[in-house]
Amino acid sequence: MKTAAHRLFKDRLYEQFARIGKALASPHRLEFLELLAQSERTVESLANEVGVSLANASQHLLALRQAGLVKSRKQGLFVHYRLAGESVFELTRAMRIVAELQLADLERLVQEHFDGRADAEAVGMDELLKKAGSGEMVILDTRPVNEYEAGHIAGAVSVPVDTLQQRLRRLPRSKEYIAYCRGPYCVYADQAVELLRSSGRKAKRLGDGFPEWKAAGFPISIGAEEGV
């Protein structure tokens, strides 16, 4: 038989769970978490990329920190934020998967924005792992350099998408290229594949991004650029 004490416990228990849901109930906060899954970022960097004011970004980050989803450190005049743990990324990925399965509006939005994207041509993580190190394929990390240096697929070359045009001559035509970026809805890899194909090179994108690769336990490296 349920007691009043047990009922009180359940009420307080789910109140704590709801704190996480409340902290996630903001599009900007979810985007902040996606960016922090790539690398540590300053408040100013997050505000600039998401297009919100510094004060607004600080308020969102405070809510995430109070819910235990992010941690911060101060270095000089800047405050740097990072995810509180790998479980935070897993939580946001689970939210994304549920949304993909249950929300028709999301499906329509993605189809409209990525009109022409051929998902059948996307390379899976297992396939990429098998091909890596073959010598016939080059893995391109198309994210900003700071994100690459914070962590990247082992053996990948840093070629931010906005520098790819200038670096094409250094990319052999005999190779196959697999481009990846932040995740399934990041456009950097799509843009890189389009440019590579238009220059006569074989190219595909990775269906997932670096955080998914890392979460799967596949080989990663940290540090400066290695190749090409």
Question: Homologous superfamily of 118-221 in CATH?
Answer: Rhodanese-like domain (3.40.250.10)
DSSP character for 86? H
Q: Percentage of residues in the chain with pLDDT exceeding 70?
A: 96
CATH number of 4-89: 1.10.10.10
Give 94-110 pLDDT, tens digit per residue.
999 999 999 999 999 99
The pLDDT tens digits of the residues spanning 158-169 come to: 999 999 999 999
Q: List the catalytic residues.
A: 181
Is the pTM for the entire model greater than 0.95? no
Convert the pLDDT of each residue in 177-213 to its tens digit. Answer: 999 999 999 999 999 999 999 999 999 999 999 999 9
The domain ranges of the chain are 4-89, 118-221
Band (132; pLDDT cuts 50, 70, 90): confident
E-assigned strand segments in the chain: 41-42, 70-75, 78-83, 137-141, 152-153, 157-158, 176-180, 202-205, 220-221
**Do the domains at 4-89 and 118-221 have one common CATH topology?**
no
3-state secondary structure (DSSP) of residue 180:
strand
